[in-house]
Structure 1
Amino acid sequence: MTLVHPELNPQAIARTYELDRRHVFHSWSAQAEITPMVITRAEGSYIWDGEGNRLLDFSSQLVNTNIGHQHPYVVEAIADQARTLATVAPQHANDQRSEAARLICERAPGELNRVFFTNGGADANEHAVRMARLTTGRPKVLSRYRSYHGGTQTAINLTGDPRRWPNDEGTSGVVHFFGPYLYRSHFDATTEEEECRRALAHLEQVIELEGPQTIAAILLEAIPGTAGIMPPPPGYLAGVRALCDQYGIVFIVDEVMTGFGRTGAWFVCDDEGVVPDLLTFAKGVNSGYVPLGGVVISDRIAEHFAHRPYPGGLTYSGHPLACAAAVAAITVMERDGIIDNARRIGTDVFGPELVRLAAQHPSVGEVRGRGVFWAIELVTDRHTRRPVAPTGGSSPVMAEAVRASKELGLLPFTNSGRIHLVPPCTITESEAREGLHIIDQVLSRVDTLCGASS
């Protein structure tokens, strides 16, 4: 659908693009080979590009606009805070920081009662690992293949997807292991129960062979996000918690992408009845309106630093504009039933409709997810499960899927050979079905292009 709004200024948009290409250095990109989309405005579940096209945002940008675009209550809270106190150093107390910490701790599982604020998810994971190493006096951290934990030095080495490779010199003290992924099982499992049991046995063997006394922490995404949205089988997170307890290892759960409603719960680990020692968050805490992340800390870890300084900090830790946005966003989520909406959309719309699409389209190998956090895995052959694009790469088929989605009015999120369905948690049922109708058309094109067989 194309809508030309009054503010559309072709000359200004052309200049925006020209200056971007001349001066902006983009992440994860070969600079001469990209053509960034100009986004001129956004509202709710939609964005408008520089040509006036309205696109349904099924990416939530980078899976962070949980309350949708330009929510008036949160925008006004940021403006009010800017008029009152625009910035304050982290060593001082501030009402918005204190209130944001309270709201986050009250929604975190178990006795996680303190928050160390960061600027985003990568540095949250950096500091969580630092806390674990300092608390245990051990050097190693275990994390899974098929994961993403951020782009800073420790976080990228913790990452288990190919973005790690150019940055990995093998000196970070990180050891990777295989997590559960039944569709492409590393354990020859045929059921979720088998996959869970064998994945935990594999992890325990890695712990034993690496030496439990050398391992500070195990770091896991509650549900791996950009690596494929693979919900763990029942009992897996609890099993990892038990292994950490058995061997005196700190358990860190990364809920940067899953936290604050994305899966239809405040946090996945709470939904699973699991309490980590450290929980990292960012993105959905305030929908990215102002950068904010953090580590929610158990009493045991916090006690270690009660009478010794924690050797870390950030100039913008708990920035008042970011915290005001978090307070407003959490308030809105609670007041408007946004988390319940995400769960309902997943249960009543995405879940059954994606199963139906999978049955109709031979290019769909598997669909999986929760809430408004789903992945469609595309294959050229259902029997061999050959993906349409390599891990960490793309293909003409995926390029066409992206192009067709935009042409039909949908901004997608894709990774390797998958289409992810990750709209705002505020999406309405009619908007969700609008997006699925477009996905249906895109999958028909993919079926033809890749010659998938059922």
Structure 2
Amino acid sequence: MSTPISNQYVHDLDRQHVFHSWSTQGALNPLVVAGGEGCTLWDYDGKRYLDFSSQLVNTNIGHQHPKVIAAIQEQAASLVTIAPATANLMRGEAAKRILARAPTGFSKVFFTNAGADANENAMRMARLYTGRDKILSAYRSYHGSTGAAIVATGDPRRVPNEYARGHVHFFNPYLYRSEFNAANEEEECARALQHLRRVIECEGPGAIAAILLESIPGTAGILVPPKGYMQGVRKLADEFGILLILDEVMAGFGRTGSWLALEHFDVMPDLIVFAKGVNSGYVPAGGVMISKPICEHFDTNFFPGGLTYSGHPLAMAAIVATLDAMSEEGMVENARDIGAQVLGPGLKKLAERYPMIGEARGVGLFWALEFVSDMQKKTPMPAPVMQEMKAALTARGLLSFVVENRIHVVPPCIVSAAQVNEALAIFDEVFALFAPRFG
């Protein structure tokens, strides 16, 4: 007789046998999930959750989209796997659709398994193309947890993992906690660009292969760059012969209300890294969009890189179906409109109501609420309080994405105005419980 499946059974099975990422294993109490549809998940007891985390900000089309599930099933029935050296229909169709959303001048796609190895290969291409070694990236960034990607990452998780060479960090703009004593966005932009110029000069321009930036830093706090910053970085890169790599892993494919976040800034990079939203993580996939000059370089120069599952047929079928569904169903436009008309204004009202919310910032369906225990000093809300808040939200059926002293509000791109208003009401209820302690 088989064991009945229950929340307790699945929880116990996990704790006995599964080793989790970014965790002290003995302190874990993972949420049990049995199934999902759209913006909703549920457990084996039937408790339902409104997913405003998009898991790890990747299920842009929501859970179990029928067209994508059908495409994966159809591909599995015809060809479940094939080596990357072959020509495969779905691989070509996926690349064609991705490049259709890229800026003019991008020629090919190198497929990887996720965002981290996509960043690894973008940095590899930059070093090989330029003949230089150093990679400049921001302290407020996250680029993945593999060898070079975690060292390119700026947040403290890189410190116990610093085994890769040639990485230098700089401060990107963040007016709320300005490193440059700026009073407004114009000052923050100008001073951040001057800081970057000095880092380039001091590190030796002839030694720097690329500047690696998230178009909008996600895990670091959803830090929308001030007007003119991205164009300024591009000008610095051009001045010193440095490549510009834009990491669109979290911000790309509808999340900000545009196909790619870089569209908000009128900037042309040399390489674009993607993953997550390209197929909502239904089958792991990532990649690098490669501009024409770099493609031409490797027409006559060997590229020393590859992955067994590069362009895996199931992942490619999921990409094709995802991008088609997003286009046919207007998901990018929905993210733009719901963000501008419902979610953004709603979060800003909460920030006005509760002084413990130091700032609400974002674009499209890519928002963060930054919490402080002292509004004047901008003291970050203590981690235990943030975990209490997360638990209170979960208990009320709202899944949140909490990082340090922030709640990142990142629902799927299919979210409705009614679902946003439901979430805003839950946020309001929970924040009211905490406000007397930090008002």
TM-score range, shorter chain: over 0.9
Return the letter of the residue paired with 2:197. E
Which residue among 438, 445, 454 is the counterpart of 2:426? 438
The equivalent residue for 1:262 is 255
Aligned to 1:207: 200
Out of 153, 162, 179, the position equivalent to 2:156 is: 162
Q: Which residue is equivalent to 1:40?
A: 34
1:377/1:418 contact within 8 Å kept: yes
Per the TM alignment, residue 16 of structure 1 is displaced from its structure 2 partner at its CA by 2.1
1:224–1:230 contact (8 Å) kept in structure 2: yes
**Structure 2 CA distance for aligned equivalents of residues 80 and 23 of structure 1:** 32
* Residues 205-234 of structure 1: per-residue CA shift (max 9 Å, x gap): 000000000100000001111110010001
Which of residues 95, 98, 106 is equivalent to 1:104? Answer: 98
Q: 1:353 to 1:12 in 2, by over 3 A?
A: closer
Matches within 5 A, 1:163-242: 163-169=157-163, 172-242=165-235
Q: Distance in 1 between matches of 2:295 and 2:418?
A: 46
Say how many residue pairs are matched.
437
| Counterpart position of 1:70 | 64
For residues 107-138 of structure 1, the C-alpha deviation after alignment (integer angstroms, 9 at most, x for no partner) is 01121121000000000000000000011111
> What is the Cα deviation at residue 72 of structure 1?
0.3
Change in CA separation of 1:356 and 1:316 when aligned onto 2, cut-off 3 Å: same
Which of residues 76, 82, 88 in structure 2 aligns to 1:82?
Answer: 76
What's the counterpart of residue 51 of structure 2? 57
Q: Secondary structure at the match of 2:255?
A: coil
3-state SS in 2 of match to 1:305: helix
Q: Give the TM-score normalised by the residue count of structure 1.
A: 0.95
Counterpart check, 1:350 vs 2:336: no
User: Do structure 1's residue 252 and structure 2's residue 227 form an aligned pair?
Assistant: no
**1:126 alignment partner in structure 2:** 120
Residue type matched to 1:452 in 2? F
CA distance in 2, matches of 1:269, 1:433: 28
1:300 aligns with 2:288: no
Specify the alignment match of 2:377 in structure 1. 384
1-side partners of 2:326 and 2:381: how far apart? 37
- Cα shift at 1:350: 1.3
The 8 Å contact of residues 6 and 45 in structure 2, kept in 1 or not, is answered as: no
Q: 2:318 aligns with which of 304, 310, 325?
A: 325
Deviation at 1:275, TM superposition (A): 1.0
Query: CA RMSD of the aligned region, Å?
Result: 1.1
Deviation at 1:296, TM superposition (A): 0.1
Deviation (angstroms), 1:20: 1.1
- Alignment deviations for residues 264-300 of structure 1 (CA, whole Å, 9 cap, x no partner): 0011112321110000000000000000000000011
**Matches of 1:11 and 1:49 in 2, distance apart?**
11
Matched residue SS, 1:42: strand
After superposition, the C-alpha distances for 1:84-119 in whole angstroms (9 at most, x for unaligned) are: 111110000111100100010110112112100000
Aligned residue identity for 1:375? A
Identity %: 57
The superposition leaves residues 362-398 of structure 1 with CA deviations (integer Å, 9 ceiling, x where unpaired) of: 1110000011100000001111111103xxxx22x11
Structure 1 residues 355, 13: CA separation in 2 closer, same or farther (over 3 Å shift)?
Answer: closer
Amino acid in structure 1 at the alignment position of 2:438: A
Contact 2:371 2:405 in 1 (8 A): yes
What is residue 4 of structure 1 aligned with on the other side?
A: none
Unaligned runs of 5+ residues in structure 1 are: 1-8
Do the aligned residues in 1 keep the contact of 2:254 with 2:260 (CA within 8 Å)? yes
What corresponds to 1:6 in structure 2? none
- The structural deviation recorded for 1:52 is 2.2
TM-score by length of 2: 0.98
Which of 391, 414, 418 is the aligned partner of 1:426?
A: 414
1:51 Cα deviation after fit? 3.3
* Equivalent in 5, 10, 15 of residue 16 of structure 1: 10
Counterpart for residue 132 of structure 2: 138
Task: State the 1:186 CA deviation.
Answer: 0.4
Deviation at 1:11, TM superposition (A): 4.0
Q: CA deviation at 1:15?
A: 2.7
Deviations 1:326-372 (A, max 9, x none): 00000011101100000001100111111111111111100000111
The amino acid of 2:404's aligned partner reads: S
Query: Is 1:364 aligned with 2:357?
Result: yes
Deviations 1:226-282 (A, max 9, x none): 110010001111111111010000100000001100000011112321110000000
Distance 1:409 1:38 in 2: 13
CA contact (8 A) 1:156 1:167 kept: yes
Task: Tell me if structure 2 keeps the 8 A contact 1:405–1:438.
Answer: yes
Q: Which deviates the most, 177-186 or 438-447? A: 438-447
Find the aligned partners of 1:344 and 1:326 in 2 and give their Cα distance.
Answer: 24
Deviation at 1:154, TM superposition (A): 0.4
